């Protein structure tokens, strides 16, 4: 896979939205998932998609949603993808991961799963997931996956409701035998934009980020044998240590979207990333064009030229190569365009602008 000035010759990672249907109506959901809204790709179309991505030498193929376990054919897709990519994973809220479904996924060849864990108690997790009993469903799913030999990663979006529970979430994940705990900042798309009370203050976010930073240093290099690995979104790391970037970092690479990663929605719409796709930023449809042509096409090239850190208030900031101009989906959601004259509000209080 070749490296170009501002993108790879093909995506390293592809996120496929199996369905927009979901068992929950989570208050922080970036896609406002719930009901099936578009015509999904048939299984044969999904197979053709996988073959195209295989020919492009994609490394990671990640299936999510919505809730992918609502699809009765996702096991078939997993089995088909398993033989064609080095890394295949499925993201779930765990609600439908009963013993029978876990066994089906294991038989399909799946080895990696991500389960959402948005708190260390039912009070917190269920409030964010907007569903009583969601916490116990998640814990039961994690235990089943771990007992069945899966490599399990938990995913936690930091909100005002759970920012004080970082340590206890990590302890819970470790006690469950989880291999990796991932932490993400709350975006401002979908329900995350509507439910503004979920957004933690800068002080609370920074405290959580510093806690993660200390844990990240402590867990550096750990794996399934030696202990829990902790991974943190770079924007959270930046909030813990808002310092200018050091070293040779590409000054034309603001985020991974349409540079090293790609999203595909359930109806075959190809997008830079799924959150941007939910905002209407698309490259085309695999039903009309080859995915490789869309990756190398004019729309993709134009999106790569929209580097937030080169525009507006970011352009003269000494921190811009560390924060990368904020999340492009957040900037688009807040301002309706890239290169907005003000920094992403996600960085408010940190940006000297």
* pLDDT for residue 15: 98
Q: Which residues of the chain have pLDDT under 70?
A: 1-5, 37-38, 217-226, 246-253, 340-349, 352-353
Alpha-carbon distance 27 to 4, whole Å?
Answer: 39
The pLDDT score that the predictor gives to residue 2 is 55
**In this predicted structure, what is the pLDDT of residue 203?**
85
CA atoms in the 13 A half-sphere facing the CB of 114: 22
Residues 6+ apart with CB under 8 A from 336: none
**Residues 169, 171, 177, 181: what is their CA dihedral angle, to the nearest 10 degrees?**
50
pLDDT of residue 130: 95
Residue carrying structure tokens 């002080």: 203
DSSP letters, 253-266, are ---SBTTTEEEE-T
* CA atoms of 171 and 130, how far apart (whole Å): 23
Q: Does residue 197 sit in helix, strand or coil?
A: helix
DSSP label at 267? T
Structure tokens given for 253: 């690479």
> Tokens 């994690």 map to which residue?
142
Q: Is the dihedral of CA 238, 239, 240, 241 positive or negative?
A: positive
The label of the residue with tokens 């000054």 reads 251
Q: Which two tokens stand for residue 204?
A: 């609370």
Closest to 258 measured CA to CA, from 207, 183, 328? 328
Angle at 75 between CA 39 and CA 41, to 5 degrees: 15
**Assigned token pair, 123:** 């009070």
Exposure of 19 in the CB half-sphere (CA atoms within 13 A): 18
User: What pLDDT, on the 0 to 100 scale, is given for residue 224?
Assistant: 47
d(CA 242, CA 323): 8
């Amino acid at each position: 896979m070749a490296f170009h000035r501002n993108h790879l010759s093909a995506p390293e990672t592809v996120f496929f939205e199996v369905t927009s249907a979901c068992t929950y109506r989570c208050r922080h959901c970036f896609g406002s998932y719930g009901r099936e809204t578009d015509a999904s790709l048939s299984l044969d179309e999904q197979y053709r998609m996988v073959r195209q991505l295989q020919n492009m030498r994609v490394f990671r193929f990640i299936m999510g949603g919505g809730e992918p376990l609502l699809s009765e054919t996702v096991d078939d897709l997993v089995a088909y993808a398993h033989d064609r990519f080095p890394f295949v994973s499925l993201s779930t809220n765990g609600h439908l991961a009963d013993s029978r479904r876990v066994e089906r996924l294991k038989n399909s060849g799946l080895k990696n799963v991500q389960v959402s864990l948005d708190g260390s108690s039912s009070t917190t997790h269920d409030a964010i997931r907007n569903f009583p009993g969601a916490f116990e469903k998640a814990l039961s799913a994690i235990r089943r996956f771990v007992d069945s030999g899966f490599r399990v990663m938990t995913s936690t979006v930091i909100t005002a409701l759970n920012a004080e529970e970082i340590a206890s979430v990590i302890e819970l994940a470790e006690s469950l035998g989880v291999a990796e705990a991932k932490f993400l900042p709350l975006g401002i798309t979908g329900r995350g934009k509507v439910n503004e009370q979920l957004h933690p203050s800068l002080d609370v976010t920074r405290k959580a980020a510093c806690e993660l930073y200390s844990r990240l240093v402590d867990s550096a290099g750990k794996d399934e044998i030696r202990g829990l690995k902790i991974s943190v979104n770079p924007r959270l790391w930046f909030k813990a240590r808002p310092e200018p970037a050091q070293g040779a970092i590409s000054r034309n690479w603001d985020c991974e979207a349409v540079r090293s990663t790609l999203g595909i929605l359930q109806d075959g719409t190809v997008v830079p990333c799924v959150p941007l796709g939910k905002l209407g930023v698309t490259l085309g449809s695999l039903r009309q064009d080859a995915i490789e042509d869309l990756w190398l096409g004019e729309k993709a090239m134009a999106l790569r030229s929209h580097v937030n850190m080169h525009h507006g208030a970011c352009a003269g900031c000494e921190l811009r190569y560390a924060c990368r101009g904020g999340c492009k989906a957040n900037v688009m959601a807040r301002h309706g365009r890239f290169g907005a004259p003000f920094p992403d509000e996600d960085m408010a209080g940190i940006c000297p602008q």
